[in-house]
């Protein structure tokens, strides 16, 4: 950000030029637009990547409103060329949404930016600006869809917006000296700001991707993509205080060492990956599934009765037994899984996990490929 601010400060020290008949300095107004737009870029980017504010659709609605508000602020601080014509960088926040491919927020922001132009007068010039805003957004969505190189995409988004805006100014102002001077200033500032905005947008996107990658690496098992032991402990540490009924399922693939010894560890990894995929398929989105050891897995399931959770476990067991696991050479093998279940309420997860392990050992002793349920009460772990 330092190099961006330094460059903008240097531009501010330039000798400004006035448009004939106007008491507004174009360079100053456009650079003020750029500064506001940069701030908006940061806010929009943070909101776009946030996991708060409810559903993705609601967050998209908020992003659209924020972008539209920024566009309106840029229009308020526009270059007033004459009584009807205003020039600003209202397209900049729309560029960021197009860069992210945020179609729903882009639509909302476009409607807001285009419609609020009429707040400054119900004129022919406002109608032209209204149409131009929609043309800019449609073109930017096309560029995002078909141009995949990030730098080229970002620069083309800005050039497209500058081109359509220049044409709309020509329609409103006509070809004259004032138009040429204004458009030259507009393109100079627009290209400089567009380049910096492109770098900023890519920096923000890459930083967000790196942060997500680090978070995923810290929380997830590298092979299966399930939660790791650390996240299992973090997500279950409050179970004793939640006063909710819950179930811990302990799963262990039967004779998995034989799979590794016979077919090799790479094929064993393929089996583990597919096993994890099946666990995700057979559980609910809010159930917690984790890999805590080589072939050891655990699942946290809230609120189900012993009978219902036993049905879930049996469904998982049968799905695993019926699955043909494909190895690297195309060969398929069958495996089975033993499952131990602890059912209880308001107990530390360590206690429930111990009971689930005991149930798992019982399932192994009884011949494997089966499910055993243990019912837990608070009295079982009360201090003596």
DSSP secondary structure string, 233-260? Answer: HHHHTTHHHH--EEEEEEEEETTHHHHH
d(CA 276, CA 293): 13
Three-state DSSP class for residue 332? strand
> Residue 111 corresponds to which tokens in the numbers above?
């409607």
Most confident range, picked from 187-191, 224-228, 345-349: 224-228
- Tell me which H or E stretch contains 338: strand 337-345
Three-state DSSP class for residue 354? helix
Burial category of 223 from C-beta neighbours within 10 Å (exposed 0-12, middle 13-18, buried 19 and up): middle
Instruction: Quote the distance between the C-alpha of residue 144 and its chain's center.
Output: 17
| Range scoring the smallest mean pLDDT among 65-69, 161-165, 346-350, 362-366 | 346-350
Indicate the pairing of strand 86-87 with strand 288-291: unpaired
State what percent of residues in the chain have pLDDT above 90. Answer: 43
Most confident range, picked from 20-29, 193-202, 228-237, 249-258: 249-258
Burial category of 318 from C-beta neighbours within 10 Å (exposed 0-12, middle 13-18, buried 19 and up): middle
> Residue 128 corresponds to which tokens in the numbers above?
């032209």
d(CA 92, CA 36): 10
> Which of 181, 242, 295, 314 does the annotation list as catalytic?
295
pLDDT at 278 over 60: yes
- Tell me which H or E stretch contains 79: strand 79-80
Q: pLDDT band at 27, cuts 50/70/90?
A: low
Q: pLDDT band at 18, cuts 50/70/90?
A: very low
295 is catalytic: yes
The residues, any chain, with a CB within 8 Å of residue 64's CB and separated by 6 or more, are 97, 104, 105, 106, 107, 108, 109, 112
pLDDT at 97 over 70: yes
pLDDT at 83 over 90: no
pLDDT for 333 = 95
Mean local confidence (pLDDT), 299-307: 91
Q: pLDDT band at 55, cuts 50/70/90?
A: confident
Q: Do 225 and 277 form a contact (C-beta atoms < 8 A)? A: no
Q: pLDDT for 176-221, tens place per residue?
A: 888 888 888 888 877 887 788 778 777 877 877 787 778 777 889 9
Number of H helices, E strands in the chain: 14, 9
d(CA 52, CA 126): 37
């Amino acid at each position: 950000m330092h190099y961006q601010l330094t460059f903008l400060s240097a531009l501010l020290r330039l000798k400004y030029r006035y448009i004939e008949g106007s008491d507004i300095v174009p360079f100053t107004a456009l650079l003020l637009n750029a500064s506001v737009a940069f701030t908006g870029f940061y806010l929009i980017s943070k909101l776009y990547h946030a996991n708060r504010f409810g559903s993705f659709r609601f967050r998209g609605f908020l992003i659209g409103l924020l972008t539209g508000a920024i566009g309106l602020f840029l229009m308020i601080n526009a270059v007033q060329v004459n009584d009807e014509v205003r020039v600003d960088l209202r397209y900049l926040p729309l560029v960021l949404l197009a860069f992210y491919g945020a179609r729903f927020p882009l639509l909302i922001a476009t409607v807001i930016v285009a419609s609020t132009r009429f707040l400054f007068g119900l004129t022919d010039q406002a109608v032209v600006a209204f149409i131009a805003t929609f043309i800019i957004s449609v073109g930017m969505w096309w560029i995002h869809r078909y141009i995949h190189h990030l730098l080229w995409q970002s620069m083309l988004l800005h050039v497209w917006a500058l081109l359509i805006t220049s044409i709309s100014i020509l329609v409103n102002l006509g070809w004259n000296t004032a138009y040429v001077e204004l458009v030259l200033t507009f393109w100079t500032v627009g290209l400089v700001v567009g380049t910096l905005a492109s770098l900023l947008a890519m920096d923000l996107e890459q930083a967000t991707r790196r942060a997500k990658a680090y978070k995923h690496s810290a929380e997830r098992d590298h092979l299966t993509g399930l939660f790791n032991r650390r996240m299992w402990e973090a997500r279950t540490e409050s179970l004793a205080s939640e006063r909710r009924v819950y179930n811990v399922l302990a799963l262990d693939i039967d004779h998995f060492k034989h799979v590794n010894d016979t077919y090799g560890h790479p094929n064993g990894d393929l089996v583990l990956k597919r096993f994890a995929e099946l666990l995700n398929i057979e559980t609910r989105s809010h159930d917690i599934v984790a890999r805590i050891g080589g072939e050891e897995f655990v699942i946290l399931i809230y609120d189900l009765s012993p009978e219902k959770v036993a049905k879930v476990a049996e469904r998982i067991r049968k799905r695993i037994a019926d699955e043909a696991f494909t190895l690297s050479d195309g060969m398929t093998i069958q495996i089975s899984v033993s499952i131990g279940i602890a059912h209880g309420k308001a107990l530390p997860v360590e206690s429930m996990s111990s009971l689930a392990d005991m149930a798992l050992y019982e399932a192994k002793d009884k011949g494997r490929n089966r499910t055993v349920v243990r019912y837990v009460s608070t009295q079982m772990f009360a201090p003596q």
